[in-house]
């Protein structure tokens, strides 16, 4: 089966054939719908009944991101400055991690937060307690993630308007006091409201941050097992025999 | 779904150290219901990594598994900007291991992580240099063919001798009737080395760093270790060793994560007050935080079983140093600091210690600082005295600028952890070893006793391979088609 982008029916680039890879983790109280959001984004489907998450803990999805770059060329000649807006497209692979139910007794492993680029904190708009706990999640994220991590806030289950306990305005106001949070959005995994948008906005922002920072990543020198580098690319290591 | 803890489990595991986490993951992976608890509020027990503040707190309140603890600031004498306050302000950037280990690139740990697919939760840093002390000088031991070619440590003749010797070691064992090696059965590796007419420098390269021997190591063991070293070369980096990014405390958590992914339940800050045999069944009754739990089996880290007094003896003496400069020459610390290994010998090779230098590239300390982990088998109840013969070898002019030092002793139970109740198993305390071979063996053995014939950590499928119920991954649903195609489809429907 060739993988295809459901939006464009274009064949997805072969594995590893993408320009950027970002790691995103989902956190939030138990039963706020993290797995449903992930399922919806990944497969486009909604599964009504999830127990605690079993067997699946991360998903990969490659999306196409449009990036506007303003290029200023300082030419010599009659037109001293040329300004051009270049639209370029990038394949961005998002690796999205689910908590595997470890949040049930507030025992998420620290290693879950390592080396990630973005965090999505989810609360349930029909359950005030999940909103009240956001502060604790933000503290945990601050404690265990790098300082340049991007955080977005998602109020899930916005289809259940009748049972709403948290106003959107309230969430917006809270975000003003927490500078790390990029934006807040209400979603419904069930009715497919804003799910794709939330991931897309985060992905675009990650790309922008990546362009700005331009820092040599520590990551490039780390080893992931099972992916031994081909010998020609690391000339200093070869076998003795 | 409620936050209520279920009451019935196939397996309750107490302690989240490395062997316990392995067993919990393996049991959960084959479909057993697992409850994994830890009396501490962090994962990993003595196998954990701590930030600077947390480590100090831990050292101020020694526990049975961690004795003779002390720490000292040396910041007053320094000329750097790294004052005590500056270090503590960056406390969270530290990941300080109680039990630092490195893994052979082709060793048991790496094989297990790859086989079980747990490797997706971990990242590693390839060690930059394996070092040795030769004539009081810290030099890099050439590991790869190009290393041997480029090194300035050895003369051209020595280079050829070393290559010849290592090639012979790599081939050893293939030819069983090799007369050359038959003669050395039952003798020491050092004797074999001497018979090969290598120079003293090569001999110490091989003994100190490659075969990791002392004067009494047998020929067979030495040969086995040399082959293990050679077999791990050329896989990931320049040396045969890997260090887990962010410290060794990450590793038990990777196993815990797999356990949770397969339904294992995690509770920290929870202990078991009593365990007894149920009268009406084969099950065990555990009382924990005012609640009674039923379990078919219980596995516990040493020291966490209620009603079991185990005598503890000093086992490993540890020194931990934070410094603002690295050990050795610029060559050994390219790009702002290497992650280096140095094996030290003392007392005519009868005692040994392992020194691991970590730079910020390992994710365990802020840039510009270095951590030195010194580990040796305990000979007394004074870790600083145990390590003095080794620190005097390395921390002399030009010594690294030490800002902080800590010493402690890790213990092990004197009796091989026989539990008072049947179907309760005890894991072993950390052994003195470089890699995780003994810990994995311990976990595997207990797992086999619990579940005979079951596979130990079979490969966990990747998410792409899992089809969630009620979902057909091959079907494109109509809603996900682009507008124009959907319109075309509708037109087709109408015309038909």
Please write the tens of the pLDDT for every residue from B205-261.
898 899 998 888 898 899 999 999 999 988 888 899 999 999 999 999 999 999 999
Return the higher-pLDDT residue of B191 and B175: B191
SS3 B386: helix
Is B182 a residue whose pLDDT tops 80? no
Output the pLDDT for position B467.
54
Q: pLDDT, tens digit, for every residue of B109-132?
A: 999 999 998 988 888 999 999 999
**Cα(A28)–Cα(B142) distance, integer angstroms:** 49
Output the pLDDT for position B247.
94
Is B12 a residue whose pLDDT tops 70? yes
Output the pLDDT for position B488.
54
Residues of chain A with pLDDT under 70: 1-17, 49-56, 68-86, 213-221, 226-241
Residue count (chain A): 241
Return the higher-pLDDT residue of B8 and B423: B8
Q: Are B42 and B58 in contact (CB under 8 A)?
A: no
B82 touches chain A (CB under 8 A): no
**B5-9, B288-292, B480-484: which range is least confident on average?**
B480-484
Cis omega (within 30 of 0) for bond into A171: no
Domains detected in chain A: 20-70+84-209 (3.40.50.300)
Q: pLDDT, tens digit, for every residue of A182-201?
A: 999 999 999 999 999 999 99
Q: pLDDT, tens digit, for every residue of B367-404?
A: 999 999 999 999 999 999 999 999 999 988 678 889 99
Output the pLDDT for position B419.
60
Q: Which residues of A touch B119 (CB under 8 A)?
A: 224-226
Q: Which residues of B touch A4 (CB under 8 A)?
A: 476
**Cα(B117)–Cα(B462) distance, integer angstroms:** 8
Min Cα distance B331 → chain A (Å) is 15
- Check residue B478 and report its DSSP letter: G
Is B176 a residue whose pLDDT tops 60? no
B334 touches chain A (CB under 8 A): no
DSSP string, B313-354: EEEEEEEEEEESS-SS-GGGGTTT---EEEEEEETTTTEEEE
Structure-token pair, residue B462:
């990747």
Contact B145 A239 (CB under 8 A): yes
Q: For the packed helices B250-261 and B108-116, what is the interaxial angle rounded to 10 degrees?
A: 30
Min Cα distance A68 → chain B (Å) is 23
Contact B254 A111 (CB under 8 A): yes
Q: What is the pTM of this model?
A: 0.86
A31 touches chain B (CB under 8 A): yes
Contact B1 A31 (CB under 8 A): yes
Contact B233 A240 (CB under 8 A): yes
Structure-token pair, residue A184:
């807040």
CA-based nearest residue in chain B for residue A226: B114
Residues near B123 by Cβ (< 8 Å), separated by ≥ 6? Answer: A114, A115, A219, A222, A223, A224, B244, B245, B246
Q: What are phi and psi of B89, to 5 degrees?
A: -65, -30
DSSP string, B248-305: TTHHHHHHHHHHHHTT-EEEES----EEEE-SSSS-EEEEETTEEEEEEEEEE-TT-S
Contact A239 B233 (CB under 8 A): yes
A-contacting residues in B 213-272 (Cβ below 8 Å): 230, 233-238, 242, 245-246, 250, 253-254, 256-257, 260-263, 265-268
Output the pLDDT for position B226.
92
A240 touches chain B (CB under 8 A): yes
Identify the CA nearest to B189 among candidates B145, B219, B162, B209.
B219
Contact A237 B167 (CB under 8 A): no
% of chain B residues with pLDDT over 70: 89
Q: pLDDT, tens digit, for every residue of B16-26?
A: 999 999 999 99
Q: Are B308 and B365 in contact (CB under 8 A)?
A: no
Q: pLDDT, tens digit, for every residue of B63-73?
A: 888 999 999 99
Is B480 a residue whose pLDDT tops 90? no
Is B444 a residue whose pLDDT tops 90? yes
Sheet holding B370-377, edge to edge: B66-73, B402-413, B312-323, B370-377, B351-358, B340-346, B129-134, B137-140
Q: Are B284 and B421 in contact (CB under 8 A)?
A: yes
CA-based nearest residue in chain B for residue A217: B361
Output the pLDDT for position A153.
95
Domains detected in chain B: 1-50+246-310+415-460 (3.50.50.60), 52-94+124-140+312-414 (3.30.519.10), 145-232 (1.10.405.10), 463-495 (no CATH)
**Cα(B115)–Cα(B119) distance, integer angstroms:** 9
User: Considering just the CA atoms, what is the radius of gyration of chain A in Å?
Assistant: 21
Output the pLDDT for position A211.
79
Cα of A23 vs its chain's centroid, Å:
6
């Amino acid at each position: 089966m060739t993988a295809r982008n459901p939006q464009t029916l274009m064949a997805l680039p072969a594995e590893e054939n993408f320009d950027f890879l970002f790691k995103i983790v989902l956190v939030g109280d138990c039963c706020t719908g993290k797995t449903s959001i992930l399922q919806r984004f990944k497969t486009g489907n909604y599964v009504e009944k999830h127990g605690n998450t079993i067997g699946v803990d991360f998903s990969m999805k490659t999306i196409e991101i449009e990036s506007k770059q303003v290029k200023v060329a300082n030419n010599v000649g009659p037109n001293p400055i040329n300004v051009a807006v270049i639209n370029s497209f990038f394949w961005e692979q998002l690796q999205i991690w689910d908590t595997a139910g470890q949040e049930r007794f507030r025992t998420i492993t620290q290693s879950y937060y390592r080396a990630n680029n973005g965090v999505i904190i989810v609360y349930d708009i029909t359950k005030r307690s999940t909103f009240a706990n956001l502060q604790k999640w933000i503290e945990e994220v601050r404690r265990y993630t790098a300082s340049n991590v991007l955080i977005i806030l998602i109020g899930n289950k916005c289809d259940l308007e009748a049972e709403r306990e948290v106003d959107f305005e309230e969430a917006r106001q809270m975000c003003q006091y927490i500078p790390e949070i990029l934006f807040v959005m209400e979603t419904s995994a069930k009715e497919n409201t804003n799910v794709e948008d939330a991931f897309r906005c985060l992905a675009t922002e990650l790309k922008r941050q990546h362009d700005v920072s331009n820092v040599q990543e520590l990551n490039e020198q780390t080893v992931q097992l099972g992916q031994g580098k081909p010998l020609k690319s690391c000339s200093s290591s070869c076998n003795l025999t | 779904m409620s936050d209520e803890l279920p009451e019935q489990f196939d397996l309750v595991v107490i302690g989240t150290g490395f062997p316990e986490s392995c067993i919990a993951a393996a049991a959960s992976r084959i479909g057993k219901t697992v409850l994994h608890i830890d009396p501490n509020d962090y994962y990993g027990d003595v196998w954990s990594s701590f930030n600077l503040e947390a480590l100090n707190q831990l050292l101020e309140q020694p526990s049975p598994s961690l004795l003779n603890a002390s720490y000292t600031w040396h910041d007053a004498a320094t000329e750097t900007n790294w004052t005590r306050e500056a270090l503590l302000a960056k406390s969270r950037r530290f990941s300080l291991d109680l039990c630092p280990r490195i893994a052979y690139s082709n060793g048991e740990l790496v094989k297990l992580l790859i086989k079980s697919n747990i490797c997706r939760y971990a990242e590693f840093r390839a060690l930059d240099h394996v070092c040795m002390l030769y004539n009081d000088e810290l030099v890099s031991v050439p590991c790869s063919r190009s290393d041997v070619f480029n090194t300035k440590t050895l003369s051209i003749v020595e280079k050829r001798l070393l290559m010849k010797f290592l090639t012979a070691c790599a081939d050893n064992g293939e030819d069983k009737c090799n007369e050359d090696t038959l003669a050395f059965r039952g003798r020491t590796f050092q004797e074999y080395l001497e018979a090969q007419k290598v120079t003293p420098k090569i001999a110490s390269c091989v003994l100190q760093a490659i075969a990791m021997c002392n004067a009494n190591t047998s020929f067979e063991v030495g040969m086995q270790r040399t082959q293990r070293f050679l077999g791990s070369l050329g896989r990931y980096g320049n040396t045969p060793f890997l260090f887990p990014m962010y410290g060794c405390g990450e590793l038990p958590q990777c196993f815990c994560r797999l356990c949770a992914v397969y339904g294992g339940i995690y509770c920290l800050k929870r202990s078991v007050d009593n365990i007894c045999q149920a009268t009406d069944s084969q099950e065990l009754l555990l009382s924990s935080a005012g609640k009674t739990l039923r379990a078919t089996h219980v596995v516990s880290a040493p020291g966490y079983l209620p009603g079991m007094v185990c005598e503890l003896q000093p086992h490993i003496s540890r020194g931990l140093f934070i410094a603002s400069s690295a050990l050795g020459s610029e060559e050994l610390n390219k790009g702002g600091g290497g992650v280096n290994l140095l094996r030290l010998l003392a007392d005519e090779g009868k005692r040994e210690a392992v020194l691991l230098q970590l730079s910020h590239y390992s994710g365990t300390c802020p840039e510009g600082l270095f951590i030195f982990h010194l580990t040796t088998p305990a000979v007394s109840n004074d870790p600083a005295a145990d390590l003095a013969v080794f620190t005097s070898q390395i921390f002399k002019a030009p010594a690294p600028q030490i800002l902080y030092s800590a010493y402690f002793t890790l213990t092990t139970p004197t009796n091989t952890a026989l539990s008072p109740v049947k179907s309760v198993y005890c894991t072993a305390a950390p052994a003195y070893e470089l890699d995780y071979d003994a810990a994995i063996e311990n976990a595997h053995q207990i797992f086999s006793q619990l579940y005979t014939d079951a596979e130990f950590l079979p490969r966990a499928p990747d998410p792409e391979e899992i089809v969630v119920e009620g979902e057909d991954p091959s079907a494109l649903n109509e809603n996900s088609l682009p507008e124009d195609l959907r319109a075309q489809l509708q037109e087709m429907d109408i015309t038909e």
